[in-house]
């Protein structure tokens, strides 16, 4: 989770509908951002809560090229998701992960 | 040979992802996402054939966090078309990643099918919108 330097009262927890309304995004898009790690969130029962500062950070992560240049952002394909998991490129060589089974001798690849 | 078919499909899949990886926002968007749709169809067919022969998949751990390319990532402004369709596409990519974390080639093939269908729909809408822009 990212650090939140502001006081908690200045950085309230938002629901998915509130984030959706603030960013003018479909709630499903907000949930996809959470599920893919673009937006850090915590579970509150069956629903998610997101810090307002995290919403700002996620929005700025898709800033214009000029902004990105100013901030000298890292390579997008190697970006780290806000939830700490590395966002990785999709596998390109599926054949290398095909397992063949030889009768009577277990498996080989 | 099932493995060779997957290798051939991999070549198209890799080329399609590479073309989309660092692409600038331009009129080539429709062509690039069509290439991804076509490659996904090839992967689905090859993997289904491999599955029918009893082959299995060695999982890709962490694949659910994958992105296909920078221009196709969730929330990217380079994405053109209905937000609802892109939401479904994002879910399809997550589903594909989850399938790639498992051993079932049939599940991966199904996930490629869904991604192919949605990418194809996005491309058709974008090509139609492009034609309207050029007309006027």
Average pLDDT estimate for A66-77: 47
Q: In the block, which residue shows the tokens 């908690």?
A: A8
Residue B49 makes CB contacts below 8 A (sequence gap 6+) with B2, B5
In chain B, residues with a C-beta closer than 8 Å to the C-beta of A92 are 10, 13-14, 17
Question: In this structure, what CATH number is given to the domain that contains residue A22?
Answer: 1.10.1660
Does any domain span residue A41?
yes
A23 — contact with chain B (CB < 8 Å)? Answer: no
Condensed to tens digits (0 to 9), the pLDDT of residues B16-75 reads 999 998 787 777 888 999 999 999 999 999 999 999 999 999 999 889 889 999 889 888
Q: Say if residues B66 and B128 touch (Cβ distance below 8 Å).
A: no
Does any domain span residue A19?
yes
What is the number of domains present in chain A? 1
- Domain of A17 in residue numbering reads as 1-73
ipTM: 0.86
Q: In the block, which residue shows the tokens 């290398």?
A: A96
pLDDT of B7 higher than 50: yes
| Record: contact B14-A93, CB cut-off 8 A | yes
Condensed to tens digits (0 to 9), the pLDDT of residues B72-119 reads 988 887 888 888 999 999 999 999 999 999 999 999 999 999 999 999
Does any domain span residue A64?
yes
In chain A, residues with a C-beta closer than 8 Å to the C-beta of B81 are none
B107 — contact with chain A (CB < 8 Å)? Answer: no
**Calpha distance B51→B109 (Å, rounded):** 9
Query: pLDDT grade, residue A8 (50/70/90)?
Result: low
| Record: contact A32-B91, CB cut-off 8 A | yes
User: Phi and psi dihedrals of A80, rounded to 5?
Assistant: -100, 130
Cα distances (angstroms) measured from residue B106 to each of B2, B95, B109, B110, B116: 14, 13, 5, 6, 15
Nearest to B76 by CA among B5, B17, B21: B21
Closest CA–CA distance from residue A87 to any residue of chain B (Å): 5
Instruction: Give me the count of residues in chain A.
Output: 109
Does any domain span residue A109?
no
Structure tokens given for A12: 């309230």
Cα distances (angstroms) measured from residue A34 to each of A16, A38, A88, B3, B18: 10, 6, 16, 36, 26
Does any domain span residue A103?
no
Does any domain span residue A29?
yes
pTM above 0.90, yes or no: no
| Neighbour tally for B100: CB within 10 Å | 23
Q: Which residue has the higher pLDDT, A38 or B111?
A: B111
Does any domain span residue A50?
yes
Closest CA–CA distance from residue B96 to any residue of chain A (Å): 10
Does any domain span residue A106?
no
């Amino acid at each position: 989770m990212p650090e939140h330097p502001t006081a908690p009262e200045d950085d309230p927890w938002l629901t998915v509908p509130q984030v959706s309304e603030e960013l003018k995004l479909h709630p499903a898009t907000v949930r996809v951002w959470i599920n893919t790690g673009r937006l850090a969130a915590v579970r509150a029962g069956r629903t998610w809560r997101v810090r307002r500062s995290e919403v700002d950070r996620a929005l700025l992560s898709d800033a214009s090229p000029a902004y990105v240049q100013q901030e000298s952002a890292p390579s997008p394909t190697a970006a780290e998701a806000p939830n700490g998991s590395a966002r990785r490129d999709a596998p390109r060589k599926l054949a290398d992960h095909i397992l063949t089974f030889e009768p009577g001798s277990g498996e080989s690849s | 040979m099932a493995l060779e078919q997957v290798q051939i499909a991999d070549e198209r899949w890799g080329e399609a992802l590479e073309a989309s990886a660092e692409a600038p926002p331009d009129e080539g968007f429709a062509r690039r996402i069509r290439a991804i749709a076509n490659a996904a169809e090839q992967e689905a067919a090859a993997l289904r054939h491999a599955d029918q022969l009893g082959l299995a998949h060695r999982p890709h751990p962490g694949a659910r966090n994958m992105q296909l390319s920078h221009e196709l990532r969730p929330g990217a402004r380079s994405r053109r078309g209905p937000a609802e369709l892109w939401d479904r596409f994002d879910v399809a990519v997550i589903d594909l990643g989850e399938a790639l974390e498992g051993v079932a080639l049939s599940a991966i093939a199904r996930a490629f099918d869904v991604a192919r269908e949605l990418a194809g729909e996005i491309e058709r809408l974008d090509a139609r919108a492009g034609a309207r822009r050029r007309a006027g």
